[in-house]
Structure 1
Amino acid sequence: MKIVEKKKLWFSISGLIILIGIGFFIYRGGLNLGIDFKGGTEVIIQIDKSFKKEDADQLIKKHAPNAVTNTVNNNQIQIRDKAEELNSAKVKDIMTDVKDKYKVDDKALVSQNEIGASVGKELTKNALIALTLAILGMLVYVAVRFKWDFGIAAIIALLHDVLITLSMYTIFNISVNSSFIAAILTIIGYSMNDTVVIFDRIRENLKSKRGSSPAEVANISIAATMSRSINTSLTTLIAIASVYVLVPSIRDFTFPLMVGIFSGAFSSIFIASPIWVMLKEWEAKKNNK
């Protein structure tokens, strides 16, 4: 199985997705930041009876076309939008339609909260700090357990997963909220775990196959761990996809998880290992000179 020798193909696939993501990022003027980062209004309405989310969405988007809606506890609907687009007048109009359709009273408006832009800036800062600390922690862990070349390859694979996930958000113009940060941190941990399994096998094979080249060692190690990586990722994806379909209220969290787990499995096999081989070959050329 020659995985490493086809590295240009694997790098091209990832590079194309990231380039498309960058194109949409430039075209749309950045990520579609939700109210957690930009500030806005959050409204929760209690309906107290079974209702179809699609019907409620149609009613709400008549007044706030860009609003993001979720069901809460199966009997509430959460509406989130920018403050200038979901003002008090529009909330009043929405409540009028909700009262007519679902026969509720004024008490159905459980809450109406505004999130200031300063809160969004603080959240953005904390999110970047959390992401930086997570990546640094992973780098230290790999550097201690393995060598510097493994650490660099693992961090590049992690950055690849983050960029792929961000690209999917820009391509499909999905709103980025606080749940996205939790998902990214989960993806980093999952991807690193997958990468470490392959690197551990590479380290073992470096000792037992001393006469083999780095590419041969990597290919043997990937072949030995590929079925485990694919099966683990596939079962996890099936579980998360089921949650995505059956629990709409947490789709903001499950969607990036699905993208990240798929990307993490891909990067562990087709990105991290070839990069490690490239670093080993560069190191060998340097020593020969």
Structure 2
Amino acid sequence: MSLTLLGSALALPTAGDGEGFHAPSPQEFYWPIFGSGDWTFTRPMATFAISILILSVALVALTKKAAIVPSKGQWLVEQAYDFVRNGIGRDTIGSKDFLRFTPLLFSLFMCILLNNLFGIIPPIQYPTMSRIGFPIALTLIVYVVYHIAGIRKKGPVRYLSEMIPRGLPKPIYLLIIPLEYATYFIIRPLTLALRLFGNMFAGHMLLLLFIMGGEYMLIHGGIGLKITSIGSFLMALVFTAFEALIEFLQAYIFTLLAATYISDAIHSEH
């Protein structure tokens, strides 16, 4: 059992307290370590720092002695890099412009993937991206990059003008212009951050519910509930495997959308 689940379980009332099962709440995602107010250092901050340290050490260690015949570790890194470089960067942005954005895309993918997988890796079992601040921070990086890339490629006037589709009746532009600008400057970054946050938050809440509910029924319930707790634990196992797939897909989708937004910003209309 992870520290998150253990701490939540210890907070549950016993049968003698006269209270029933307490479902997990958003407070399970905060976990302050030290400090207070705006200067609180929380568990998500610690796990994110750990992920950066792990990625930095692992990538340097596995690639500093690169060989023509790769070791298993080097091969894994190369497969991940090729997946992002060719499967996302080149296919989405195009062979002419993708290379300069590949380091950003690879960093985003690896960082999000590891922090998502923390949700099912003991003893952490805490998806960092379930705290909205982290998806927002990564989205702001993508937001700045694709707007700057578009402005540098086309100039500010042409960049803004190409956001508006051509050939529509003039009265329609009264509606289309604000909608298009809202899409590029507000809706895209908002949905990019919320999609990642929402999936990680909901998935971790369900895992907490299955495990804490099963534990409560096993420890505090009668014989019927003790038998029922087996189903709850089995669902937790099944959902853990499903969550691993979702965590990979969310890292892929975030990176793919980042590449799509960059491609839209630097390429002209056809």
TM-score of the pair, normalised by structure 2 = 0.31
TM-score of the pair, normalised by structure 1 = 0.30
Between structures 1 and 2, the one with greater strand share: 1
